[in-house]
Chains A and B, each alone.
Chain A
Amino acid sequence: MKEKRATKNGVKKKGEGYYYGLYFLGAVIGLYIVLYLLEPDSIQKALKASGNVLIQIVPVLFLILILMGVVNYCVKPKTVSKYVGEGSGIKGWFLAVSTGMLSHGPIYIWYPLLKDLRDQGMRSGLVAVFLYNRAIKIPLLPLMVYYFGTVFVVLLLIYMIIASIVEGKVIEMIERLNFSRL
C-alpha cells in the first residue's frame, strides 16, 4: 500500500518537474524572442555561445546517462545506504568529497543522477558535499596557480573542503529540524 502511494507520488512529482521545466524553457525562449527584436546580433551570439556549451557537454551527458543506467541496474538501495547513506560515517563524507572533485562537466547535468541516488538512500548532506567539491577542478589547478600562486591555491582548497563538510552538516541539520516539525 505504502509502495503504491510512494510510486503514485513519484509519478506526480516527475510530471510536475517536467512541466515546470517546460515553462522555464518557454520563458527563456520568450526572453530570447523579446531580446532578438531589440538586439538581433547579440542574440545570435548568445545562441552560438549556448550551442558551444551544448556541444561541449554532450559527451558528459552521455557518460552520465550511462552512469545512471548502470547505477539503476547494479546499485541497490542497500548498497547506496551502505556507502553514502545514514550509516556511512566518515567513509561517506570522504567518498562525496573525492567523487565531487573527480566529476566532470557543468554542475546542472549531475542533478538527475544525484536525485536518483538520493531517492535510493543517499544523505542530502553528502549530495551538498559532492556539489560543493565539484568546484575543485584538478585539471584547472595549474591555471589557478598561475593566476593566484601555489600557497593561495593550497589554502583555498583546504578551506573549501572544510566549507563543503560544514555545508553538508548544516543542510542535514536544517532537514532534521523540518522533519521534527512534521
Chain B
Amino acid sequence: MEIDTRKQEDSKNQRTIANSFYIAIKSFGTTLPMLLGVILLLGLFSVFVTSEMISSVFTGELLRDTVIGSLIGSISAGNPIISYIIGGELLKEQVSLFAVAAFIVAWVTVGVLQFPAEAAILGKRFATARNILGFILAIVVSIATVTTLTLMAIP
C-alpha cells in the first residue's frame, strides 16, 4: 500500500519535471524563429558593415561625435571584442575618447538589430523604453567617465 502511494507520488513528481521542461521547450520554441532571424541579420551586418565605414562617419566635433558614437554603437552588433578593436582603431585615428566610450557602451547596451526579438518577447513598450534609455545613458556614461578621468589626471 505504502509502496503504491510512493510510486504514485514519484510518477506525479516525474510528470511535473517533464511538464516543466515541456513548458520550457515550448516557450523557447516560440521564440526560435525570432532568434534565428536575429542571427541571420548579424551575419549580414558582419559582412556589409566594415570598421572603415564606421570610422568615416566621425566629424571631429566633440559632442556630435559622442552622439554619433552612441548611434553607431546602437545599430552595431556582435561580440564586444570587435567593439574594443574598432574603438582602439578609432582612437588611433584621433577620434575623441568621449565618442569611443559612447560607442563601446552603446554596442553592448542598445540592440537595434535585436529590437524585433526583444519587443516580441518582452513587450514593445519595455523594449522601446530600454533601448532609448540605453542610447541616452551611453552618452551620459561616456561623458561622466572621460570627465572623471580628465579630472583625475589634473595634479
Q: CB within 8 Å of B: which residues of A?
A: 14, 17-18, 20-22, 24-25, 27-29, 31-32, 35, 42-43, 45-51, 53-54, 57, 61, 64-65, 68-73, 107-109, 111-112, 114-116, 118, 124, 127-128, 131-132, 134-135, 137, 140, 143-144, 147-148, 151-152, 155-156, 159-160, 163, 166-167, 170-171, 174-175, 178
Q: Give Cα A72–Cα B152 distance, bound, in whole angstroms.
A: 49
In contact, B39 and A53 (Cβ under 8 angstroms): yes
Q: Provide 28 A-B residue pairs closer than 8 Å at the C-beta atoms, listed in order of the A residue.
A: A20-B34, A21-B31, A25-B33, A28-B40, A42-B47, A46-B47, A49-B43, A50-B39, A69-B21, A71-B24, A72-B20, A108-B38, A108-B117, A111-B118, A115-B27, A115-B121, A135-B80, A135-B108, A144-B84, A148-B84, A151-B152, A155-B148, A156-B101, A156-B105, A159-B148, A167-B130, A175-B126, A178-B125
Nearest CB of chain B from residue A112's CB, rounded to whole Å: 5
Q: Is the interface of B mostly helix, strand, loop or mixed?
A: helix
Known: A22-B33, A50-B39, A108-B114. A42 touches B149 (CB 8 A): no
Complex Cα–Cα for A32 and B47 (A) = 12
In the complex, A178→B87 CA distance in Å? 39
Given A17-B120, A65-B25, also A171-B38 (CB < 8 A) = no
Contact check: which of B24, B38, B133 meets A170 at CB < 8 Å?
B133
Which of the residues A50, A131, A159, A170 comes within 8 Å of B145, measured between beta carbons? A159
Is B81 in contact with A143, judged by CB distance below 8 angstroms?
A: yes
